[in-house]
Amino acid sequence: MSLRPTAVTGSFLSVVAFLLTAAPAPAAPADQGAGAGAAAPAAAPSVPAPEAPEAPEAPEAPEAPEAPEAPAAPDAPAAPAAPRPGGVVPVAHRGASAYAPENTLAAADKADELGITWVENDVQRTKDGELIVMHDETLSRTTDVEEVFPDRAPWKVTDFTAAEIDRLDAGSWFDARYAGEGVPTLTEFLDTITANNQKLLLEIKKPELYPGIERDILRELRKEGWLDRRHLRTRLAVQTFDAASLRRVHELKPEVKTGFLGTPKVADLPRYAAFADQVNPRYTTVTAEYVDAVHATRGPSGRPLELFTWTVDDADTAARMAGLGVDGIISNRPDVVRDAARGRS
């Protein structure tokens, strides 16, 4: 069938077709905001939308990954290689035990005479549950127990009552001047250092032998007024070689400053930091890198861990430890440590 009956008709149809197709074009801009028909895509190319791909330039913000270089913050804790604020703390090991019998009231008093504020002691428990200040598991090295109770070998602390231990001489073995010096109870020791206005680094000795000793110690400290805010903040710390025992202390009284005795691997420091405020290694294991690693780790209080090293008795080693940035040095000769550390500052 032909669509061209006449030339006029064909021309007329062409004109109509032209008008119909041309008319929508001017209407398209008005419809664009509503998302009208196919005319909109034609207009889109003229819009600078294609230039939006410059947004991918935002990916240059990935220069934020350079923030990882801000790990300069973690480097801040490395500053402790310099002397610590307030200087190195000298701690009298078992009292001033180079000058008086260890773990006695005389040793605490001697530390006070020397001007030493911090005193370390060891705590164990007698057969009848009394807390006493004694380092060894047995009584034989530092008392006359073998003479007083010759048939009670091996003279373990756990085999004697507090009254029996009270009969012992804990001073003569050191020097005749200290004859009659006794084994103090924890209560007596606390009374003495309170009178001297001293501070206490208390070591739980052999906690595996004394189930529940952590609770007993805290109970005694509370009774003697040593768990108030003043003591908790600046005058008391509890340490031990036994991680499980130290964790129990922290769980029972999180406010008590705690110290782990030993040298954990650097990778393990965060695990110890869950319950220890200090890491206290033997001085032969201390390096500048280890001190920095300890100080770069935050303890349960949110503050950097402290490091108290032991047992340093000579000036050269004390000066070297101070130069490494340790926080404290435990010593039988705390006056020697104090003077050597001051010589560096």
Is residue 67 domain-resident? no
In a domain, 151, yes or no: no
Beta bridge partners of 133: 123
Residue 27 has pLDDT above 60, yes or no: no
CB 169 within 8 A of CB 179: yes
Q: Round to the nearest angstrom and report the end-to-end CA distance of the chain.
A: 114
d(C-alpha 226, C-alpha 224), whole Å: 6
Structural domain range at position 129: 88-136+183-344
Whether 295 is a known active-site residue: answer no
- Domain assignment present for residue 19? The answer is no
What pLDDT sits at residue 156? 98
pTM (two decimals): 0.76
Confidence of residue 343 (pLDDT cuts 50, 70, 90): confident
DSSP per position, 239-265: EES-HHHHHHHHHH-TTSEEEEES---
Pick the range with the lowest mean pLDDT from 20-24, 28-32, 129-133, 322-326. Answer: 28-32
Residue 215 has pLDDT above 90, yes or no: yes
In a domain, 154, yes or no: no
Residue type, 4: R
Report pLDDT digits (tens) over 136-151. Answer: 999 999 999 999 999 9
Q: How confident is the model at residue 4 (pLDDT cuts 50, 70, 90)?
A: very low
Q: Please report, as a single letter, which amino acid is at residue 60.
A: E
Q: What is the pLDDT of residue 81?
A: 37
Question: Is residue 101 in a domain?
Answer: yes
Tokens of 136: 């060894």
Neighbours of 204 (CB within 10 A): 24
Are 318 and 341 in contact by the 8 Å Cβ rule? The answer is yes
Specify the DSSP class assigned to residue 298.
B
Q: Cα–Cα distances in Å, from 296 out to 46, 72, 276, 327? A: 59, 12, 14, 13
**CA distances from residue 40 to 19, 29, 33, 124 in whole angstroms, order as listed:** 20, 8, 9, 89
* Cα 225 to Cα 187: distance, rounded to the nearest angstrom: 11
Q: How far is CA 159 from the centre of its chain?
A: 37
Taking a C-beta distance cutoff of 8 angstroms, is the pair 200, 193 a contact?
Answer: yes
In a domain, 150, yes or no: no
pLDDT tens, position by position, 40-80: 333 333 333 444 444 444 443 333 333 333 333 333 333 33
Q: What is the pLDDT of residue 199?
A: 98
How many other C-beta atoms are found inside a 10 Å radius of the C-beta of residue 305?
Answer: 26
Residue 289 has pLDDT above 70, yes or no: yes
The residue among 163 and 77 whose pLDDT is bigger is 163
Count Cα atoms within 13 angstroms, Cβ side, for 234: 4
Residue 270 lies in a domain: yes
Q: What is the pLDDT of residue 303?
A: 97
CATH number of residue 294's parent domain: 3.20.20.190
Residue 212, in any domain of the structure? yes
The answer to whether 231 is a known catalytic residue is no
Pick the catalytic residue: 135, 231, 250, 295?
135
- What's the number of domains the chain is made of? 1
pLDDT in tens, 171-212: 999 999 999 999 999 999 999 999 999 999 999 999 999 999
**In sequence order, which residues have a C-beta less than 8 Å from that of residue 176 and are 6 or more positions away?**
none
Q: Is the pLDDT of residue 272 over 50?
A: yes
